[in-house]
């Protein structure tokens, strides 16, 4: 019987295999940031261990770095200590660090691909659940906890139970690809399969709706695999993948010979078997807006807030969850999504802060001003994205519309730095999680695409971006 | 890691589904660089109001659950962020067993690295255990949960069971495979980053 792409990558990385036990899997790339690594380095010191392969390990600082003027000192002392600790750990253990002043600094899942560190067919881990992003390149990319970060630092391997392969086919063509985006595709998937729908699996996204996407759009899809509970998500590499990585700063010297072998090997065989399958038809999908406190609580922009009964389909626990979510979000069933007013707009995060995201959002706002009661910010995913956007004049478009134009980092996706919502504030956000308090205690998050966030900034409430001129 | 001992305790019922790790430990507490002391931040935004006064309606603030070592909760517990701080907070607070119909993958894996036993049981049994007001006994060796009225058995992967019972140092185990790792590296075609 044939094999899936995931199984091929898995098998080519098994170091030790035992019956009915986890396998020891080799890690090709280990990405590190300031929040989930300090305790791992402490563990190494305590046991007098070294980093086995500093040459396969790359660090940056993204989660709690301020996104205002970088020449100013970091006011939050605990953040400053965490950042200094990463600097010291990288120095002590010989790890390459893109620090706050590096032109390569940025969100770890934005810089990996941008620098050519992310490669097809590899295993990539990071102490961050959105590591699934790198799966867009046909890599097996897993988010791990801090104990596993320490384990990889010490041994360059991980004990893993083999997840099962899950095929998600995305069929058809979007009618208006500028208004209905990759974010809307992945939110639709999570809306259907739920936040636990992918538990224990590695999703392979397939079909015309996926191969049509650019690499940056594919990253948005794979990024949110974890929001469906999946261990990872991936997409088979093709010419778009190979072209994207060619000639980047850390792309390997023998890249072309690697590409030749990837072309032959990195695909799911026609007779391979998936344990689980789901099909999404995208010809008629609408822009999506989340209304609740997990990413599965999402509906079309043309819909109204569902009643807990309608949402839960008879499941009493889900009903309770929906009631609680609506209370937290201060929303009532039957309210049209387009009637929901917003206070804040956040365009950023490892889901949607790449150059294409900023280009698309800028088309919506060009020549307009944001609604007077809205505060809006753009936080580019990396310093390189910021520079490229500035070279195109996108910063001017945003600033002229009264957006704040920031330095790179995770920022208000998780509010570890000073960029947070105040209690009760409602935000149209291009990030990945609408959990209670995620963007600030008491803050209310609605997940949307960059163009939907930009449109909401202009109008002051959600609006179907398909009605706007994006030419 | 300490080896897992049998636990006898009253249960703390947390009747919620899809509890994400952002709720278990909110982001403002992820800036610490040690593993200890996270218990006071556990479920912080549910436990305390904006003035850091205890919210009386939250289960952890009900004194009858003081000293409980067993949390019984809803489907898909620990979803979202991979932060191991969530497990450190549960452990530091005093929980060593978590019972739910299902767990998110990364959280589940993180539990075993820190000596917490996560037990999956069907929804009906979990609901029944949430109602249990008398102490229950969790025996990992026998894979049973004893209440005053019945004995419930649970499944656990034998390898994971061994890790908990023996309190094994994962890394020391792995480093015994030095030869295999070196051999793998010799054959790998993936070049260094630098």
Cβ A29 vs Cβ A137: under 8 Å: no
Q: How far apart are CA A47 and CA A51, in angstroms?
A: 12
Beta-carbon contacts of B161 under 8 Å, excluding residues fewer than 6 positions away, are B140, B143
Could you tell me if B180 lies within 8 Å of chain A, comparing CB atoms?
A: yes
pLDDT-based confidence at residue A471 (cuts at 50, 70, 90)? low
Of the candidates A20, A317, A415, which has its C-beta nearest B27's C-beta?
A415
pLDDT at A71: 84
Nearest residue on chain B to A123, alpha-carbon basis: B190
Q: How far apart are CA B153 and CA B150, in angstroms?
A: 10
- Window 7-36 of B: residues touching A by CB (8 A cutoff) are 15-18, 20, 22-23, 26-28, 30-35
Q: How far A14 CA sits from the closest chain B CA (Å)?
A: 9
Q: Do B76 and A229 touch (CB under 8 A)?
A: yes
Average pLDDT for B139-150: 97
Q: What are the chain A neighbours of B180 within 8 Å (beta carbons)?
A: 15-16, 24
pLDDT digits (tens, 9 = 90+) for A372-422: 999 999 999 999 999 999 999 999 999 999 999 999 999 999 999 899 999
pLDDT at A70: 86
Q: Give the 3-state secondary structure of residue B100.
A: strand
Q: Do B180 and A16 touch (CB under 8 A)?
A: yes
Beta-carbon contacts of A241 under 8 Å, excluding residues fewer than 6 positions away, are A120, A136, A137, A138, A215
Return the residue matching tokens 């919210």: B55
Q: Do A154 and B33 touch (CB under 8 A)?
A: no
Q: How far apart are CA A139 and CA A266, in angstroms?
A: 9
Q: What are the chain A neighbours of B113 within 8 Å (beta carbons)?
A: 145, 147-148
Q: What are the chain B neighbours of A154 within 8 Å (beta carbons)?
A: 171, 174-175
Q: How far apart are CA A9 and CA B110, in angstroms?
A: 24
Q: Half-sphere exposure of residue A430, counting CA atoms within 13 Å on the CB side?
A: 36
Residue ranges of the domains in chain B? 7-187
Q: How far A232 CA sits from the closest chain B CA (Å)?
A: 10
Q: What are the chain A neighbours of B26 within 8 Å (beta carbons)?
A: 437, 441
Residue ranges of the domains in chain A? 5-276, 289-467
Question: How large a percentage of chain A has pLDDT more than 90?
Answer: 96
Q: How far B103 CA sits from the closest chain A CA (Å)?
A: 8
pLDDT-based confidence at residue A35 (cuts at 50, 70, 90)? very high
- Fold observed for domain A289-467: Aconitase; domain 3 (3.30.499)
B/e letters for B97-111, b = 16+ CB within 10 Å, e = fewer, are bbbbbbbbbbbbbbb
Cβ A466 vs Cβ A452: under 8 Å: no
* Whether ipTM exceeds 0.90: yes
pLDDT digits (tens, 9 = 90+) for A359-374: 999 999 999 999 999 9
**How long a stretch of residues is chain A?**
471
pLDDT at B1: 80
pLDDT at B69: 98
pLDDT digits (tens, 9 = 90+) for A201-255: 999 999 999 999 999 999 999 999 999 999 999 999 999 999 999 999 999 999 9
| CATH superfamily, domain at B7-187 | Aconitase, domain 4 (3.20.19.10)
pLDDT at A73: 86
User: Considering Cα of A283, then A427, then B25, then B100, what sign does the dihedral take?
Assistant: negative
Could you tell me if B92 lies within 8 Å of chain A, comparing CB atoms?
A: no
Beta-carbon contacts of B22 under 8 Å, excluding residues fewer than 6 positions away, are A414, A433, A435, A436, A437, A438, B80, B81
Helices A215-223 and A182-193, packing angle to 10 deg: 20
Judge if pTM exceeds 0.95: yes
pLDDT digits (tens, 9 = 90+) for A64-84: 999 998 888 888 999 999 999
Q: Do B33 and A39 touch (CB under 8 A)?
A: yes
- Window 35-64 of B: residues touching A by CB (8 A cutoff) are 35, 45, 50
Tell me the count of A-B CB pairs closer than 8 A.
Answer: 191
Of the candidates B23, B174, B192, which has its C-beta nearest A55's C-beta?
B192
Of the candidates B33, B79, B87, which has its C-beta nearest A195's C-beta?
B79
Provide the token pair at B138. 């969790």
Other beta carbons less than 10 A from residue A326's beta carbon: 22
Of the candidates B32, B114, B177, which has its C-beta nearest A24's C-beta?
B177
Which one has a higher pLDDT value, A207 or B5?
A207
β-bridge partners, A377 = A346, A404
Cβ A422 vs Cβ A153: under 8 Å: no
Q: What are the chain A neighbours of B181 within 8 Å (beta carbons)?
A: 15, 24, 26, 52, 155-157
pLDDT at B81: 97
pLDDT at A470: 67
Beta-carbon contacts of A86 under 8 Å, excluding residues fewer than 6 positions away, are A32, A33, A34, A37, A38, A59, A61, A97
| CATH superfamily, domain at A5-276 | Aconitase, domain 3 (3.30.499.10)
Average pLDDT for B162-191: 94
Provide the token pair at A461. 């409430």
pLDDT digits (tens, 9 = 90+) for B99-121: 999 999 999 999 999 999 999 99
Q: How far apart are CA A56 and CA A272, in angstroms?
A: 32
pLDDT digits (tens, 9 = 90+) for A272-296: 999 999 999 999 999 999 999 999 9
Closest by Cα among A127, A161, A159, A132 to A144? A127
Average pLDDT for B39-50: 96
């Amino acid at each position: 019987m044939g094999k899936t792409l995931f199984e091929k990558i898995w098998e080519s990385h098994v170091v030790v295999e035992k019956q009915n036990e986890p396998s020891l899997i080799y890690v090709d790339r280990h990405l590190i940031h300031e929040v989930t690594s300090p305790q791992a380095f402490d563990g190494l010191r305590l046991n007098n261990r070294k980093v086995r392969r500093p040459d396969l390990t790359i660090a940056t600082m993204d989660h709690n770095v301020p996104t205002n003027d970088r020449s100013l000192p970091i006011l939050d002392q605990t953040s400053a200590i965490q950042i200094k600790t990463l600097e010291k750990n990288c120095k002590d253990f010989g790890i390459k660090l893109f620090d706050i002043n590096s032109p390569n600094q940025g969100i770890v899942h934005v810089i990996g691909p941008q620098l050519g560190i992310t490669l097809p067919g590899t295993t990539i881990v990071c102490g961050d659940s959105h590591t699934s992003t790198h799966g867009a390149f046909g890599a097996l990319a897993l988010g791990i906890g801090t104990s596993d970060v320490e384990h990889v630092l010490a041994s360059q391997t991980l004990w893993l139970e083999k997840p099962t392969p899950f095929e998600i086919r995305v069929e058809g063509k979007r009618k208006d690809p500028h208004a209905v985006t990759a974010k809307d595709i992945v939110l639709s998937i999570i809306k259907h399969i739920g936040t636990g729908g992918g538990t224990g699996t590695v999703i392979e996204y397939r079909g015309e709706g996926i191969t049509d996407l650019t690499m940056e759009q594919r990253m948005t899809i794979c990024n949110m695999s974890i929001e469906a509970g999946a261990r990872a998500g991936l997409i088979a590499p093709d010419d778009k993948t190979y072209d994207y990585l060619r000639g980047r700063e850390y792309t390997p010297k023998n890249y072309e010979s690697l590409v030749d072998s990837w072309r032959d090997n990195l695909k799911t065989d026609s007779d391979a078997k998936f344990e689980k399958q789901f099909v999404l038809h995208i010809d008629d999908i609408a822009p999506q807006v989340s209304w609740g406190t997990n990413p599965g609580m999402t509906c079309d922009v043309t819909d109204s807030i569902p009643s807990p009964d309608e949402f839960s389909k008879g499941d009493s626990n889900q009903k309770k969850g929906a009631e609680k979510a609506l209370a937290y979000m201060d929303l009532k069933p039957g309210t049209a999504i387009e009637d929901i007013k917003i206070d804040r707009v956040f365009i950023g995060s490892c889901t949607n802060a790449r150059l294409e995201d900023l280009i698309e959002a800028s088309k919506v706002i060009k020549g307009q001003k944001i609604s007077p009661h809205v505060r809006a910010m753009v936080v580019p995913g990396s310093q390189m994205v910021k520079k490229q956007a500035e070279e195109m004049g996108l910063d001017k478009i945003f600033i002229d519309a009264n957006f704040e134009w920031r330095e790179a980092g995770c920022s208000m996706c998780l509010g570890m730095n000073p960029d947070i919502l105040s209690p009760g504030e409602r935000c149209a956000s291009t990030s990945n999680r609408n959990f209670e308090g995620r963007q600030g205690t008491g803050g209310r998050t609605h997940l949307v695409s960059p163009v939907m966030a930009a449109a909401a900034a202009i109008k002051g409430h959600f609006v179907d971006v398909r009605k706007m001129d994006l030419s | 890691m300490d080896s897992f001992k049998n636990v006898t305790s009253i249960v703390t019922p947390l009747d919620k589904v899809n509890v994400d790790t952002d709720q278990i430990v909110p982001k403002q507490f992820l800036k610490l660089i040690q593993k200890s002391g996270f218990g006071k931040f556990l479920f912080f935004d549910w436990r305390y109001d904006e003035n850091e006064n205890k919210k009386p309606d939250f289960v952890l603030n009900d004194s009858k659950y003081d000293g409980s070592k067993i949390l019984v909760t809803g489907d898909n517990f620990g979803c979202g962020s991979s932060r191991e701080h969530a497990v450190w907070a549960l452990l530091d607070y005093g929980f060593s067993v978590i019972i739910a119909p299902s767990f998110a993958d990364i959280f589940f894996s993180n539990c075993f690295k820190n000596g917490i036993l996560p037990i999956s049981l069907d929804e009906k049994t979990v609901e029944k255990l949430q109602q249990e007001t008398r102490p229950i006994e969790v025996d990992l060796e026998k894979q049973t949960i004893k209440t005053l009225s019945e004995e419930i058995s649970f499944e656990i992967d034998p390898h994971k069971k061994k890790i908990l019972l023996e309190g094994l140092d994962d890394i020391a185990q792995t480093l015994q495979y030095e030869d295999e790792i070196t051999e793998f590296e010799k054959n790998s075609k993936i070049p260094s980053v630098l």
